[in-house]
Chains A and B, each alone.
Chain A
Amino acid sequence: MSLATDPQPSAAAQLSPERLREAYRLMLAIRRFDERALELYRAGEIRGTTHPYIGMEAVAVGVCSALEPDDYVSSTHRGHGHTIAKGGDMRRMMAELLGRATGYCGGKGGSMHIADMERNMLGANGIVGGGMGLATGAALTAKLRGARQVAICFFGDGALNQGILHEVSNLAAIWQLPVVYVCENNQYAMSARADWSVAGGDPAGRARAYGIPGVTVDGMDFFAVYDAASALVARARRGEGPAYLVCDTYRYHGHHAGDPLNYRDRAEVERWRRHDPIERLRRALVERGVLSAAEADALDQQVQAAVEDAVAFAKSSPEPSVDQLMTDIYA
């Protein structure tokens, strides 16, 4: 479906060099953070599980680069990328992963529940589709207040088949709420292939049922994501209602750190890796003269140092005191 106002193809081109460098830095940060989280998980330092965002960085950063600081974001179980893209603090994130008192949630949430309420990041969510109501409700708050805020609901292809998506899409459409539903189609819901589990074969096409725009973009391309998100966010901000943005992307690693990965072949992974979003953005920025290769390498070094600093901060932080067990249940 075409947009009421088609995205300006040059929207991303209008981004300042500073903002482009920042986008690149954020994508690197997501990758290095989650690479390190996987190492820590394998070393037995992270309990439960962790869901790496590696490979999907252009989606979180492309969308969040199109937002104002007070716009809302709801996330998923695979939430590290959204938190970092929204400006979250890697120290507090890593401390939460390691179950420390200094973590975002004081060690009470872990990877799947990191929220940054000061940045209107409404939390990762352990329930598939759990963020849909939160983002839609945030959009309702914005509308009732007459604020110009927009809410982004990130969700995976697996959540395309949750009933709540139908209910909130319908409600947001009839109420014209300022929310953009961003489907990160990383092709798999655990082992379920999206080309098998999603009837109709076209997630964005489902938007037609609600009379709202549905746009599909190459989710491995920062510029494509940013352009489409900018157009849909601007539209929502003007009071023209919700939309679907489907980003075709891929998770390089398993669903979580313990995934047997028996349901896809390596050739497929390699095909997607050839479109790596960070490599592509780097090439584009170097070509445009936004960044030299040496500067790009230096940025990567800085990011890796920041991740190591976050790990050191987390490891040197205390575990939560047991006397915190029964606090924070009620306000």
Chain B
Amino acid sequence: MAVPTAPAAGAPSAGGTVRHLTYAEALNEALREEMRRDPSVFVMGEDVAVWGGGGVFGVTRGLVEEFGPERVRDTPISEEAIAAVAVGAALTGSRPVAEIMYVDFMGLAMDPIANQAAKLRYMFGGKARVPVVIRAQEGAGRGNAAQHSQSLEAWFCHIPGLKVVTPSTPYDAKGLLKAAIRDDNPVIFLEHKVLYGLRGPVPEGEYTVPLGVADVKREGRHVTVVGIHTMVHKALQAAEQLAAEGIELEVIDPRTLVPLDEETIVNSVRKTGRLIVSHEAYRNAGYGAEIVSRVVEAAFDYLDAPPQRVCARDVPVPYAAPLEQAALPQVADLVATARALVRKEL
């Protein structure tokens, strides 16, 4: 997909001058501010310091100049060590922000995340804190093919003890990353590679976006669309198209999947009676299924039609553009599904 335009809704309300930063710049600013605020915060990962001035997507650009190589640590290509050492550092009082370059590489880092970070506090009877942030980027749309394009957020949502964050706008990216760094729990912070160039309003000055609070990006009466990452923007485009037909979408970005702001989603469905969940992650056992289940459990009687999943096809992400686009959920899919829901064709 092309880099989407800035969202119509969800614009920041904090005071001060509002700049238009990219998603990558907003993340960079969050890291910079938190490293200035708290000397126990440091960054580690592959190519976070030297490459291109900081990070293959520029998120850590310039940090090593300001904070030095002790706090902005390039690592060898050792994903398990990156995650494991970050967890050990967090367990002993540091606040590491570790980067796994692609979420697809998380398979190499899963034990420290799923068996150590997520469980130490519980296994130790509450006598440990693991304030680690593990950043990665996910998503398709750039022709990176099957091992560099997945959206694997569901892997982490399944494990109690982790928090999972998926920002879709520059404003949210900055505020959520600052909140994640200050959180005393392990946070898996998943960015989207296509969104790095997205510009949006980011106010000057201090703010955070709390974990566990969804954002209604556009209000509407007829269909609730819960989108993750790029699907927030595609849902907003679909909403524009359908508005001409008199169909109103309510677009909700959960922003954090764990904890999930179930209340905002359920309240929306109570109003609209219709639900679409949409993500670039595979449809099968994706997090959308969890959202559907929660809504069915909480608001079954309010549903006028079966909830729908507009998600990636269950196929390794292909390389060639027509195949990749066909594998991904598109605006047209959202439009068609919403229309069918409203017309009671489903």
Contact = CB atoms under 8 A, between A and B. Distances in A.
Interface of A: 72, 74, 103-109, 113, 115, 117, 120, 122-123, 125-127, 130, 132-145, 163-164, 167-168, 170-171, 174-175, 327-331
Given A104-B124, A122-B92, A130-B111, A137 B129 contact: no
Contacts of B71: 144
B121 A331 contact: yes
Interface string B64-101: 00000011010110101101111111111110100000
Contacts of A109: 123-125
Contacts of A104: 124-125, 127
A320 B78 CA distance: 40
Q: Which 10 A-B residue pairs are closest in the complex by CB-CB distance?
A: A137-B88, A133-B84, A167-B81, A328-B126, A106-B125, A105-B125, A331-B184, A137-B89, A113-B123, A134-B88
Given A105-B125, A144-B42, A328-B126, A138 B78 contact: no
B7 interface: no
Interface of B: 40, 42, 70-71, 73, 75-76, 78, 80-81, 83-94, 96, 111-112, 115-116, 120-129, 131, 160-161, 163, 184-185
B91 A137 contact: yes
Contacts of A122: 88, 91-92
A143 B44 CA distance: 14
B34 to A, nearest CB: 15
A170 B85 contact: no
Contacts of B88: 74, 122, 133-141
A171 B112 CA distance: 16
B90 A108 contact: no
B113 to A, nearest CB: 11
A120 B93 CA distance: 11
Given A108-B125, A123-B123, A136-B88, A167 B94 contact: no
Given A104-B125, A138-B91, A164 B81 contact: yes
Contacts of B123: 105, 108-109, 113, 115, 123
A113 B124 contact: yes
Contacts of B84: 132-134, 136-137, 164, 167-168
A309 B180 CA distance: 45
Which label, helix, strand, loop or mixed, suits the secondary structure of the A interface? Answer: helix
A134 B76 contact: no
A331 B76 contact: no
B21 to A, nearest CB: 29
A331 B91 CA distance: 12
B124 A140 contact: no
A171 B85 contact: yes
Contacts of B89: 137-138, 140-141, 144
Contact of B124 (A72, A74, A115): A115
A138 B73 CA distance: 16
A134 B86 CA distance: 8
B92 A137 contact: yes
A117 B90 CA distance: 13
27 contacts: A105-B124, A106-B126, A107-B125, A108-B123, A109-B124, A113-B124, A117-B127, A123-B128, A126-B115, A133-B85, A133-B87, A133-B88, A134-B84, A134-B116, A137-B86, A137-B94, A138-B92, A140-B85, A140-B88, A140-B94, A164-B81, A168-B85, A171-B76, A174-B76, A328-B126, A330-B163, A331-B185
A144 B70 CA distance: 7
Contacts of B78: 167, 170-171
Contacts of A115: 120, 123-124, 127-128
B92 A328 contact: no
Contacts of A133: 80-81, 83-85, 87-88, 112, 116
A142 B94 CA distance: 9
Nearest to B259: A330
